[in-house]
Structure 1
C-alpha cells in the first residue's frame, strides 16, 4: 500500500467501473463456492497490462498489489506453477464430501426417493458427507448420503447455509443435514450445544438433534485431540493501526467463520404447506410455545424467527428450528449487540431492529413481533389471491428499506409502521384474503 502523509491510500480506485468489476468478481466467486464444495478458492484478475491474485473465503477476499503480467510475467507464472503442485486441501477443496459408492447408492436411493420432491433422484445426484460429532470421544466420522441441497441462502460472504434431506448410513433413517459457516466470536455458541441445552430444559416443539460438530480440515485429522478445522483466514489480514498489516485499506468489519454441520432427526414440511388457516395458527402457536419455553427455562432467545424456521411435522404440529443465531440472555441485565450487523430474516425483523440495529440489543419482544409478521406474511402470500393491491402492499410492508448516503447503513420498518396504522395490507384486504381463497377455510377459527 502506498502512503500519502499519514493517510493510507487504497489499492482500488473507487470509480463506477471499479465497483462494477468488483461486483462481477464477487458474483463469480459466489457461483464458484455454491457449485462446488469449497473452503476457499483462488482467482486471477487481469485488467489491461496489470493483474492481481485473489484468495476468497466466507469472511472476504485477500488480494495482491497490481503486477505487470505482460512485461514482467514472473509473478503470474510462479503462482500457476506453485498451484499445479498443491494438494486438493491446499487448493481449497472440501475433502469431507466425496462421490458415493455403488453399494451406498443402492441402499440410500430407495429411501430418498420416498421423500416428496426426490422421486427422480439418481446416483449421479448423490454425494457422501462426513460429520464429526462433538460429543464423540473417539473422533469417529458419521456418514450421510444426500442429493442436491433443498434450500440455500446463497451468497459467498457470511452465513451461507445449505440444507439437505440425507440418508443416515448408521440408522438407515432420513434426516435433515444442515451445512453452514458459524460465526466464531466470543459468546456465540455452537448450534448443537444450544440444542443440547434446550433438550436438557425439556423445551417442547423442537427437533431431535443427531450428530453436530465443526468440519475437519481432512477426514484423516480427527484422530488427534485438537484436530484442524475448516475456518476462514481473511480476518487474519485486517489492518492493525501501528501493526504489521498496514496494507489493509479502511477499517472493514470482518467476522471469522468456522465450517459447521449438524443433523436433525425430526423431519418437517415448510410452513407454506399449511392446509388451513386453523393449522397455520396452531403451527405458529406451537413455535411460540417452543420459543417461550426456551426463554423461560433455558434463558435462550432465538433471534431469527422467520417463516423458514417454523416447520410442520408429520403429525401436523409445529416446531421451531435454526437456533444458530440464538443467545443466552440474562434477565434484568442490559446487553448491547454482539455483532455489528442485525440478526434475522429481513421480512420478519421487528420494527425497532429494522430502524436502528447498531445500538439496540435484540429482545424477546422483537421475536414475538416477528411471529406476527410471519402470520401476516403467510396469509397474504399463500392464499392464492389475484388482488392487484396485495403484491404491491407486500413489497411496501416486508421489503421496504432505505440506504443512508453517508454511512451506507440500510434501515427499514416504515412500511410495517404504516401497515399497523391500517393503510398497507389493511383490515379489508386481509379479511378478503381469508374469505375468498379457493380451497381454504373461511376464517382462522374454523376447520
Structure 2
C-alpha cells in the first residue's frame, strides 16, 4: 500500500469542524444520504475530501449488468469522476468505496464493549463478538453480500466499506481471510475520524485502495481479438476483457486475456476460486488457441495446486490438466490474520493467512452434464478414475474432491480430472498432518465422511465418490424408471444433512448408507427396482458398483474384525477397474442419448398433469459442485446447501 510519509499525512487536510454534522435532522436514512455528498464532493464550502472522485446516491438503482439475485444497491458509492450516469448510478465493476447507512444504533453489527486481554491461542473474550439480534444479523449479512457482489465483479486484493448507524460509524476492511472492523465512532460529536479516513483514502494509489495491480483492462484491439477466440464462452451479461499477469518459470510474467469468469464466488471469504477461458498475448499479438486460467486465494496451510500439477505432469499422469505456467502473485497476501492475534481484539476465531495464486493449463473442458451420450459420460468418468489411479500409484497423491464439477469432457470426448487444490500426499496424512480435515463436495462425498466429520480421508472415500457421480448424473440427465419420484430421490440421497449442536458440524449420508446396505430407492442385484431406460450397460454397471461397495462395507461396520474372515475386501482401484472395462466394452450402448435434464422434465410433466405453475428458472446455472473443507474458514464453500452459479451459457466449465 503506497501512502505519504507519516509526518505528511495531515498536509492539505480540509479544516472541517468536528461538529459539522451536529445540527443535521435525521428522520430517515435519506436525510443521511443528503448530508454526506456535499462535504465529500467539495460542495459544502470545503475542499473535496477525495479529489477526482464523486460520492453518488445509489440506494434506488441496481446495476443493470448484475445477475438476477445479485442486484444489490449500496446506499452510497464513490466513483472516479464521470464514470457513472444519473440513469445508472450503480456500477459494481467501477465502485471504489461503498457505504451502508442505517438510521438507528440498534442495527450495529458487532459488540466491542468487551475486549480480550491475552493474544491467541488464549481466548478470554467474554462477550460475543457478533450482535445476535435479528436486525444486526440481517445488516451483517447485507454488508457481507455487498462485499461479495462488488469483489466478484472486480479484481481486488482488499476492499473498504463505510458503515453508518446513526450517530455512529465504523470502517471495515475486507480481504479473503476476513473483515477488520473498527471500534464505533460517534461522528456527530466529532467527525474528524471520518474526514481523516476519507482524506487519506483519497491519497492512496489504486493498489492501496485494494485494486489488483496484476489485472488491467485490455486495449480495444486486444479486446476485439480476444472476443473472436473466446466467442464460445461469451458472457450473457456485459463484461470487460481484462489482461492478467501470470507468473512464469523465469521469474517474469506472461499475459493472458480473459472475458468474464465461468464461476463467481458466493462469499467474500475463502478460496473464492474463479476460472476463465483465456488467450495469451505476446507483444500485442493475441494467440488463437484458448487455454484455461484459474485463480484463487489459497490457505498457506494447503499445498499449492501448481506444485501438485507439476508433480503429476512430471510423472506422466494421464487425464489431468497440463500446467503451462503459474504460481503465487508477489506481495498478494491477506492481512486480516495479522490483526486478529492482538490482545486488543474482540473476535474469537483464529484466522488463516491466504495467498493469491494464479495459473494456466492447456485444457478447456465442457461440464460433465453436456455429455453427448451415456457411453461418453461413463467413459469420461472412467478417464478421471484412471487419472486418480495413476496419481495415487505414481505420486501417492489423493485428489480428495471427486465430484461432477471436477470431471470435464474435452473436445475428443475424453475425460479430465481437474481441481487438485484439495489434494494431499499420502505421507502428509500418515504422519498426522491435517489428517482429520474433511474435504469434498457434499452430494458426492462418501457415507463415511458424511457420517463421521473427523474421519481420516482414505482411498475408499474417493472411489466411492465416483459411484455417487455416476448415480447423480445418470438420475439427473438420463431417462429411467424413477422419474416420478426423482425430485424427492435427489434431495434424499444427495442433499440430506443435519447439524450437530455439540460441535456445529454438518452430518449426513444416512440415506446413502441405506441405499448401499439395504437397497433403498434402487433395489439390489437380486431384486432390481430401478433401471436406465434403453441403457442396459449403465444399469448393470450401477448394480455391479453397488455389489462392490457392499463388499467394501466393513469399513463402516465396527463389529467386523477381519475382512478376510468376514468375506469383505479392501477398497482399491484394481477391484473397481474391471467393472468399467466390462461396461464400456458392451455392444448394447445406445447412440446419441444426449443429456436431458430429467429434474426439469419431471417438474414440467407434473405441471401438465396437475395444472400447477412450474418453478421459474433464472438465468444462472445451478451447480451442485462446491467443495467443502471443514478445517478452513471458507464461507463460500462450507455449506452442503451451497450451489455455484455462473452467468455463462452451457458451454461453461471450470477447473
Structure 1 length as normaliser, TM-score? 0.86
- Does structure 2 conserve the Cα–Cα contact (< 8 Å) formed by 1:37 and 1:97? yes
Of 351, 376, 387, the match for 2:471: 376
- Does structure 2 conserve the Cα–Cα contact (< 8 Å) formed by 1:203 and 1:294? yes
Deviates more, 1:230-239 or 1:89-98: 230-239
- Give structure 1 regions of 4+ aligned residues with deviation exceeding 4 angstroms: 3-7, 119-122, 425-430
Partner residue in 1 for 2:443 = 347
Partner residue in 2 for 1:237 = 339
State how far apart, in whole Å, the 1-side matches of 2:194 and 2:428 are.
57
State how far apart, in whole Å, the 1-side matches of 2:319 and 2:116 are.
60
State how far apart, in whole Å, the 1-side matches of 2:193 and 2:452 are.
46
Q: What is the Cα deviation at residue 407 of structure 1?
A: 3.2
Partner residue in 1 for 2:150 = 32
Partner residue in 2 for 1:129 = 244
Counterpart check, 1:276 vs 2:276: no
Counterpart check, 1:212 vs 2:309: no
- Unaligned stretches of 5+ residues in structure 2: 1-111, 118-123, 539-585, 590-655
SS at match of 1:207: coil
Partner residue in 1 for 2:292 = 176
Partner residue in 1 for 2:261 = 149
State how far apart, in whole Å, the 1-side matches of 2:203 and 2:523 are.
64
State how far apart, in whole Å, the 2-side matches of 1:73 and 1:338 are.
51
Question: What does 1:38-437 align with in structure 2 at a 5 Å threshold?
Answer: 38-113=156-231, 115=232, 117-118=233-234, 125-133=240-248, 135-136=249-250, 139-170=251-282, 171-185=287-301, 188-216=302-330, 229-239=331-341, 244-250=342-348, 252-330=349-427, 333=430, 335=432, 337=434, 342-357=438-453, 359-383=454-478, 387-420=483-516, 421-424=518-521, 431-432=530-531, 434-435=532-533
For the structure 1 residues 338 and 73, does the alpha-carbon distance in structure 2 shift closer, same or farther, using more than 3 Å as the test?
Answer: farther
Q: What is the Cα deviation at residue 338 of structure 1?
A: 5.4
Deviates more, 1:167-176 or 1:283-292: 167-176
State how far apart, in whole Å, the 2-side matches of 1:90 and 1:365 are.
48
Q: What is the Cα deviation at residue 105 of structure 1?
A: 2.5
SS at match of 1:19: helix
Structure 2 length as normaliser, TM-score? 0.60
- Does structure 2 conserve the Cα–Cα contact (< 8 Å) formed by 1:39 and 1:94? yes
State how far apart, in whole Å, the 2-side matches of 1:104 and 1:7 are.
54
Q: What is the Cα deviation at residue 33 of structure 1?
A: 0.9
For the structure 1 residues 120 and 424, does the alpha-carbon distance in structure 2 shift closer, same or farther, using more than 3 Å as the test?
Answer: closer
SS at match of 2:385: helix
For the structure 1 residues 390 and 21, does the alpha-carbon distance in structure 2 shift closer, same or farther, using more than 3 Å as the test?
Answer: same
For the structure 1 residues 431 and 3, does the alpha-carbon distance in structure 2 shift closer, same or farther, using more than 3 Å as the test?
Answer: closer
Q: How big is each residue's C-alpha offset from its partner over 1:11-32, in whole Å with a ceiling of 9 and x where there is no partner?
A: 5432232222212211111111
- Does structure 2 conserve the Cα–Cα contact (< 8 Å) formed by 1:176 and 1:265? yes
State how far apart, in whole Å, the 2-side matches of 1:57 and 1:430 are.
51
- Higher gyration radius (CA): 2
- Does structure 2 conserve the Cα–Cα contact (< 8 Å) formed by 1:40 and 1:93? yes
Q: What is the Cα deviation at residue 141 of structure 1?
A: 1.2
Instruction: Work out the number of aligned pairs and report it.
Output: 415
Q: What is the Cα deviation at residue 381 of structure 1?
A: 1.2
State how far apart, in whole Å, the 2-side matches of 1:265 and 1:7 are.
50
- Does structure 2 conserve the Cα–Cα contact (< 8 Å) formed by 1:337 and 1:361? no
- Does structure 2 conserve the Cα–Cα contact (< 8 Å) formed by 1:396 and 1:424? no
- Does structure 1 conserve the Cα–Cα contact (< 8 Å) formed by 2:329 and 2:357? yes
Q: What is the Cα deviation at residue 384 of structure 1?
A: 6.0
- Does structure 2 conserve the Cα–Cα contact (< 8 Å) formed by 1:379 and 1:430? no
Partner residue in 2 for 1:220 = none
- Unaligned stretches of 5+ residues in structure 1: 217-228
Q: How big is each residue's C-alpha offset from its partner over 1:82-135, in whole Å with a ceiling of 9 and x where there is no partner?
A: 11111111111112111111231343232222x3x439898x6411111112x2
- Does structure 1 conserve the Cα–Cα contact (< 8 Å) formed by 2:115 and 2:346? no
SS at match of 1:344: strand
